[in-house]
Structures are given as structure tokens and as C-alpha cells.
Amino acid sequence: MTEEKLTLLLKQSRQKNSKQAITGLLLYMEGRFLDRMEGRFIQLLEGQETAVRDMYAQISTDDRHRNILLLNTGNCTERNFPDWTMGFRSPDLHLNETLAGFLQLDDIFGVERVHPRPAGLLNYFRSFYEINQVDGLTRRHLSTRP
């Protein structure tokens, strides 16, 4: 997925999610798998149960997605990522500067001290990040859903 398409996806998602009061975390990684480049997403959605279920239904029926695996569902009294905006690793430094709330992924996952509540969730995403790194060909994008 190109950076332009990811940026467009971010803008569209922010608008849609804002209307539904959905927040969370989205991590995209692209790397070589066998003989081709392949992108993978992992996502956490937070919000009212019906809004999250509706969003998941939209995602799971979108023909751009395949091999969707629901890892967990549950309730929480407080959101884990209510204010995160966007982290995006790009060789285009100008693009990084123009994205609101830019966060460097290596900085996020390299920091040992994180807020105690989402530490387990961040570690799970960090594992996905580390497993999917493939030499210098991997691009990493982290977005949150404000």
C-alpha cells in the first residue's frame, strides 16, 4: 500500500471514526513474503459496543481485506488510546512533518516505560512489529483512531 493510500485511509478513517466516537490503534507493516511484497494490519478498536461491532462488520465485509482474524473482544471502563493521533514511518521527511500528531514507531516501541494501563497492549503490537520486520524492506505505519 502506498503512503498516499495510507494517508487517504487515515483521513477517511478519522472522519468516520470521529462520527462513531471510535478510537484505538492501527499498525500497518509491509515486507517481503516469499516472492512478493505484502502488507499486514493489526488493529484495536475502542468505543461503544454497538459502534465497534458495526465498524468491525464493515471492515470484515470490505473486499480489500482478507484473512481477518478476531483475536479478542471485551469491555473496559476506560479507553486505552483515547488521544493517540498518528505515527507513520516514512523516508519522506516532509510527509512526516505534515501529518498531525506524527510519532516515530521506533521511538514508541523502543521505549521501555509506557503508561501502565496499555503496556500489555503495546507489547502485543510491538511483537507484531518485531515479527514482521524484514531487513531494510519493511515499512511501518502506526495510526490511531481519534
> What residues does each domain of the chain span?
3-144
Confidence tier at 15 by pLDDT (50, 70, 90): confident
pLDDT tens digits along 51-90: 999 999 999 999 888 889 898 898 888 888 777 654 444 5
Element (H, E) at 121: helix 119-131
| Among 10-14, 43-47, 77-81, 102-106, the range of highest mean pLDDT | 43-47
Query: Count of alpha carbons within 13 Å of 86, Cβ hemisphere only?
Result: 19
Against a cut of 0.85, is the pTM above it? Answer: no
CA distances from 2 to 9, 49, 112 (A): 11, 32, 30
- Assigned C-alpha cell, 139: 515499512
